[in-house]
């Protein structure tokens, strides 16, 4: 049997209880096997969504019309994850969708990409599968399924990658480790005193320009200012993905230090 629509409706009734069967659900948009559905169900079951009572209908039923949606888009995430959706659409990864064009694929890239990945599309399902919403694979392994430039491939040789390896046993990526996402999709604290909330800035262009933005917003959470600036403006060190200590000394920093010394008289 490949009655995807019917199976989903049954499962949604079963899982959400309150799900209302709508006569306008219409014919299934595509067919899927029982095994496929079972796999999706299992991925969802152990996800953060299942724990938070976000179920099949939360994404597969249109909010306004209550119609069944076979392949939801980022619109289905927006009511609960506004920041993630809005920031994704502003960066290189998402801007084509924002502009109403077909999603970005590695085939369109100037940067070196994995050959097997040429036709993969970029959306919310690409790095963290929408059913398992696994943010650990999303932060490094997922990136490397597409990115194949020297900087990306060198990440594994860095001390940052060792810290990341130590993190793998935790259920959620910690703030002590450094992944690709730490630098390129940084966490933003948008919480208030009474309501703590940390969200991920999904705009992958944001920390690239100007370059010192990453030094201030990311590196300086862990390193001093001089170390951070001397590292980030050293092109070879960036290509090596910070796999050695910085050797450059920025002359501006030297000048600031000299004038500080003169001013304080020691
Ligand atoms: C967090 C939102 C969300 C939840 C919860 C969710 N889905 Fe999905 N589902 C999606 C999105 C988005 C897609 C489209 C993925 C893509 O772009 O290919 C999708 C695609 C699918 C597909 C077809 C593609 C595939 O991955 O096999 C099936 C089948 C499916 N969902 C079934 C389910 C079932 C059954 C449940 C409940 C156990 C469920 N979904 C829960 C968002 C969700
Ligand atoms: C009905 C609200 C709702 C919808 C719709 C929804 N989510 Fe979520 N999502 C949540 C909640 C609640 C959590 C758990 C938050 C937490 O633990 O801090 C969560 C957590 C997540 C996480 C983090 C998982 C983790 O391990 O911390 C990701 C990634 C995620 N959602 C992606 C999506 C995507 C992609 C979509 C759309 C396809 C989507 N969500 C749709 C409510 C929603
Ligand atoms: C489906 C493939 C795919 C995945 C997965 C992916 N990317 Fe990309 N990424 C691309 C493509 C394609 C581009 C555009 C490259 C170009 O135009 O040369 C890009 C561009 C970028 C850029 C450059 C942005 C700019 O404005 O120039 C950065 C940084 C980046 N990705 C980081 C990441 C990180 C970090 C991850 C994982 C969290 C990731 N990417 C996952 C395909 C992917
Ligand atoms: C380029 C890879 C990539 C894409 C594409 C992507 N995400 Fe994420 N997302 C991540 C990573 C990596 C994390 C975890 C980062 C961390 O732990 O610091 C994350 C975390 C999240 C979280 C939990 C933190 C938060 O901000 O609440 C949510 C929710 C989320 N993503 C939603 C989405 C939605 C919605 C889309 C589509 C608009 C999307 N993601 C597309 C890589 C991606
Ligand atoms: C410690 C921070 C850091 C980590 C970790 C890191 N990067 Fe980068 N990345 C940078 C910096 C800095 C640049 C250079 C920005 C510039 O050219 O101005 C860069 C550049 C890039 C670019 C090229 C952007 C362009 O337009 O040339 C891509 C793609 C990229 N990184 C992907 C990744 C991936 C994938 C990973 C993980 C495997 C990763 N990065 C890990 C800091 C980092
Ligand atoms: C979450 C904390 C954290 C963040 C964020 C971070 N680092 Fe690191 N970094 C570390 C730790 C810890 C080490 C290992 C120090 C050691 O072993 O001596 C390290 C090591 C390094 C090294 C030396 C590598 C070596 O082989 O000795 C460089 C260079 C470096 N980081 C640059 C950066 C830059 C540039 C950024 C921002 C783009 C950054 N780091 C972001 C924690 C961080």
Average pLDDT over residues 236-245: 97
Q: Is 53 left (phi over 0), alpha (psi -120 to 50) or beta?
A: left
pLDDT of residue 117: 98
Residue 131 CB neighbour total at 10 angstroms: 20
pLDDT of residue 211: 84
pLDDT of residue 3: 46
Contact 19, 8 (CB under 8 A): no
- Whole-number Å distance, alpha carbon 190 to ligand 1 midpoint, is 29
pLDDT band for position 251 (cuts 50, 70, 90):
confident
Digit-coded pLDDT (tens) for 172-227: 899 999 999 999 999 999 999 999 999 999 999 999 989 889 999 999 999 999 99
184 lines ligand 5 (CB under 6 A): yes
Average pLDDT over residues 237-241: 98
94 lines ligand 6 (CB under 6 A): no
Token reading at 113: 């990409």
**Which ligand approaches the C-alpha of residue 228 most closely?**
6
Digit-coded pLDDT (tens) for 20-69: 333 334 344 456 789 999 999 999 999 999 999 999 999 999 888 999 99
Digit-coded pLDDT (tens) for 109-159: 999 999 999 999 999 999 999 999 999 999 999 999 999 999 999 999 999
pLDDT of residue 30: 53
Contact 105, 122 (CB under 8 A): yes
- In this structure, the strands spanning 187-189 and 198-200 are antiparallel
- Whole-number Å distance, alpha carbon 261 to ligand 5 midpoint, is 35
Nearest atom within ligand 5 for CA of residue 232: 12
H-helix or E-strand containing 265?
none
Digit-coded pLDDT (tens) for 70-103: 999 999 999 999 999 999 999 999 999 999 999 9
- Whole-number Å distance, alpha carbon 31 to ligand 4 midpoint, is 28
**Which ligand approaches the C-alpha of residue 51 most closely?**
2
Domain residues of the chain, as ranges? Answer: 1-72
H-helix or E-strand containing 187?
strand 187-189
């Amino acid at each position: 049997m490949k009655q995807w629509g019917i199976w989903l409706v049954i499962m949604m009734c079963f899982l959400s209880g309150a799900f209302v069967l709508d006569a306008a659900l219409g014919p299934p948009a595509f067919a899927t096997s029982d095994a496929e559905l079972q796999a999706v169900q299992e991925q969802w079951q152990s996800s953060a969504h299942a724990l938070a009572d976000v179920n099949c209908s939360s994404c597969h039923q249109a909010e306004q019309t209550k119609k069944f949606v076979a392949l939801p888009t980022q619109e289905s995430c927006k009511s609960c994850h506004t920041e993630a959706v809005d920031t994704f659409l502003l960066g290189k990864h998402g801007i084509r969708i924002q502009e109403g064009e077909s999603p970005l694929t590695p085939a369109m890239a100037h940067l070196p990409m994995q050959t097997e990945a040429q036709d993969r599309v970029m959306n919310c399902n690409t790095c963290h599968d929408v059913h398992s919403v696994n943010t650990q694979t999303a932060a490094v392994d997922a990136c490397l399924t597409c990115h194949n430039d020297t900087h990306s491939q060198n990440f594994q040789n860095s001390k940052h990658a060792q810290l990341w390896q130590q993190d793998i046993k935790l259920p959620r990526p910690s703030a002590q480790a450094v992944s690709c996402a730490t630098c390129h999709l940084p966490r933003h604290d948008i919480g208030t005193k009474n309501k703590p909330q940390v969200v991920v800035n999904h705009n992958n262009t944001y920390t690239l320009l100007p370059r010192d933005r990453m030094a201030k917003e990311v590196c300086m959470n862990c390193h001093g200012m001089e170390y951070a600036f001397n590292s980030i403006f050293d092109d070879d060190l960036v290509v090596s993905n910070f796999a050695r200590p910085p050797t450059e000394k920025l002359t501006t920093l030297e000048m600031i230090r000299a004038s500080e010394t003169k001013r304080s008289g020691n």
